[in-house]
């Protein structure tokens, strides 16, 4: 290597932060004319300055500057010092996003605090908007947001002329719902926001409980019809992202929707499945999405994976269970030929097995008798079965085989 190339290499090492050999020498005491020790280059230890609370570790749309008091103090102390309703509510929503397990223990106090704070129409509308935005912008919060909406719809006491919490929430959802056709044909960002709304509406349909005139708990009828129209809008513009959203929606609510439609004598689910099959045949979607659609059709054909326990129990037999003999034990004849209960001459071979005099012969390995006197374990084992036990066991086996063949 010439001097010019050596100089260029050193400059490159300095620019990349890697020390050159000339800069990183290990000093060795002078020992005279002895052979010089090889020089070892020691790479510098790089220490990351990235904090565990860096933005890279938080989901998109999540506000990491939530109040740490949620983790360090009692709930009564947490809302002291909040200047606005929005600050308090957003702090609690972020807290639920990070620790969803706190819902059961803290939701009651949260609702009580809101009842003392939300006393005007504007405040209630602000509360609805904050929850809606969190549920449709933060990944995986749609389910928790729907549970929160259901609880507040039953426990918030304010009911202004513009409507109670549930009515204002449904009005907010209706705003997005009415733009469904434009949203499914919009750009990628628009469709992504719309899909988040669709899945939140699906969670609302499953979690929002409404009391009927006779006190019975019901699902919101308006959401059921809304989901059907949203599915139609998604299938009307069968691009990949719309179709994936439709699959997620049907996996989440398909069984409940079909049951509800059947109670009304409607075949809406049959129409949806037909639309899916048409998309698979005609649409220019990707092969992976078509495969996903076919899996959904298969899921629906299996009653959405539900297993009903109302069918009468039937004892398994070789005639009604093709896997009847799969877990049967394997026996061996005196010649070492294996046989199971599936063999036609099973009873004869099994009887011969029981009549062998030396059913469990002593075993020797490497010249050592395992049944030698002095072995504390084997001293307690008889060489032969007790006659009464043997007779009872043989009778049991024959009766079991007789019942099996009936």
List the beta bridge partners of residue 238: none
Has residue 6 got a pLDDT over 50? no
Residues 383 and 375: their CA atoms lie apart, in Å, by 14
Contact 109, 141 (CB under 8 A): no
Residues 59 and 122: their CA atoms lie apart, in Å, by 30
Confidence at 69, pLDDT banded by 50, 70, 90: very low
Has residue 185 got a pLDDT over 80? yes
Its sign, for the CA torsion 118, 119, 125, 128, is positive
Q: Which of the given ranges, 79-93, 112-126, 189-203, 299-313, has the highest pLDDT on average?
A: 189-203
Confidence at 401, pLDDT banded by 50, 70, 90: confident
Better-scored residue on pLDDT, 81 or 391: 391
When pLDDT is averaged across residues 211-240 and rounded to a whole number, the result is 88
The 3-state DSSP class for residue 218 equals strand
CA distance to 46, 150, 183, 199, per residue, from 139 (Å): 34, 19, 19, 11
The 3-state DSSP class for residue 49 equals coil
Q: Which region among 244-248, 320-324, 399-403 has the lowest average model confidence (pLDDT)?
A: 320-324
CA distance to 78, 246, 309, per residue, from 91 (Å): 10, 32, 45
List the beta bridge partners of residue 354: none
Has residue 366 got a pLDDT over 90? no
Contact 257, 207 (CB under 8 A): no
Which H or E run contains 338?
strand 338-339
Residues 372 and 365: their CA atoms lie apart, in Å, by 12
Has residue 199 got a pLDDT over 60? yes
Report the predicted TM-score, pTM, of the whole model to 2 decimal places. Answer: 0.59
- Give residue 394's pLDDT: 77
Which residue, among 225, 147, 231, 138, has the nearest Cα to 184 in the 3D structure? 231
Domains observed in the chain: 85-305 (1.25.40.180), 324-403 (no CATH)
What would the pLDDT profile of 31-61 be if each residue is shown by its tens digit?
445 445 555 555 565 666 666 666 666 665 5
Burial of 52 (0-12, 13-18, 19+ CB in 10 A): exposed
Angle of helix 240-263 versus helix 221-236 axis, rounded to 10: 140
- The pair phi, psi for residue 280, each rounded to 5°, is -60, -35
What would the pLDDT profile of 130-143 be if each residue is shown by its tens digit?
999 999 999 889 99
Which residue, among 204, 133, 216, has the nearest Cα to 166 in the 3D structure? 204
When pLDDT is averaged across residues 180-198 and rounded to a whole number, the result is 95
Better-scored residue on pLDDT, 270 or 327: 270
- Give residue 21's pLDDT: 44
Q: Which residue has the tokens 């006197």?
A: 373
What would the pLDDT profile of 242-268 be if each residue is shown by its tens digit?
999 999 999 999 999 999 999 999 889
- Give residue 207's pLDDT: 94
* Helices and strands (H and E) in the chain: how many: 16, 6
List the beta bridge partners of residue 339: 331
Has residue 16 got a pLDDT over 80? no
Confidence at 79, pLDDT banded by 50, 70, 90: low
How many Å from the N-terminal Cα to the C-terminal Cα in the chain?
92
Q: Which region among 80-94, 163-177, 207-221 has the lowest average model confidence (pLDDT)?
A: 207-221
Q: What's the mean pLDDT when you consider all of the chain?
A: 76
The 3-state DSSP class for residue 13 equals helix
The 3-state DSSP class for residue 214 equals coil
């Amino acid at each position: 290597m010439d001097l010019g190339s050596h100089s260029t290499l050193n400059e490159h090492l300095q620019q990349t932060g890697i020390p050159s050999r000339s800069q990183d020498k290990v000093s060795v005491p002078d020992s005279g004319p002895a052979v010089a020790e090889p020089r070892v280059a020691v790479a510098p230890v790089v220490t990351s300055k990235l904090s565990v609370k860096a933005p890279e570790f938080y989901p998109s749309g999540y506000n990491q500057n939530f109040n740490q008091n949620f983790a360090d103090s009692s709930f009564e102390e947490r809302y002291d010092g909040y200047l606005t309703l929005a600050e308090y509510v957003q702090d609690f929503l972020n807290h639920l996003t990070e620790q969803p397990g706190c819902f059961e223990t803290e939701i009651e106090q949260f609702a009580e605090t809101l009842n003392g704070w939300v006393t005007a129409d504007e405040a209630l509308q602000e509360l609805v908007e904050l929850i809606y935005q969190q549920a449709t912008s933060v990944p995986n919060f749609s389910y928790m947001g729907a549970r929160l909406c259901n609880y507040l719809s039953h426990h918030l006491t304010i009911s202004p002329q513009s409507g109670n919490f549930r009515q204002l929430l449904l009005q907010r959802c209706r705003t997005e719902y009415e733009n469904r056709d434009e949203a499914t044909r919009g750009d990628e960002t628009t469709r992504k926001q719309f899909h988040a709304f669709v899945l939140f509406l699906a969670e609302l349909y499953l979690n929002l409980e409404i009391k009927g005139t006779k006190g019975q708990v019901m699902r919101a009828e308006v959401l059921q019809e809304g989901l059907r129209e949203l599915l139609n809008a998604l299938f009307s513009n069968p691009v990949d992202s719309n179709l994936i959203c439709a699959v997620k929606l049907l996996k989440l609510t398909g069984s409940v929707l079909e049951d509800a439609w059947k109670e009304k004598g409607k075949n809406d689910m049959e129409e949806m499945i037909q639309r899916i099959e048409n998309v698979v045949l005609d649409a220019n979607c990707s092969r992976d999405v078509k495969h996903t659609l076919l899996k959904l059709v298969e899921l629906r054909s299996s009653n959405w994976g539900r297993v009903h326990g109302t069918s009468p129990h039937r004892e398994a037999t070789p005639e009604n269970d093709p896997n009847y003999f799969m877990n049967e034990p394997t026996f061996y004849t005196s010649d070492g030929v294996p046989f199971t209960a599936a063999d036609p001459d099973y009873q004869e071979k099994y009887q011969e097995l029981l009549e062998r005099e030396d059913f469990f012969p002593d075993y020797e390995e490497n010249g050592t008798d395992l049944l030698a006197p002095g072995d504390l374990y084997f001293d307690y084992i008889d060489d032969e079965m007790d006659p009464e036990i043997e007779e009872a066991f043989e009778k049991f086996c024959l009766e079991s085989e007789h019942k099996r063949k009936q």
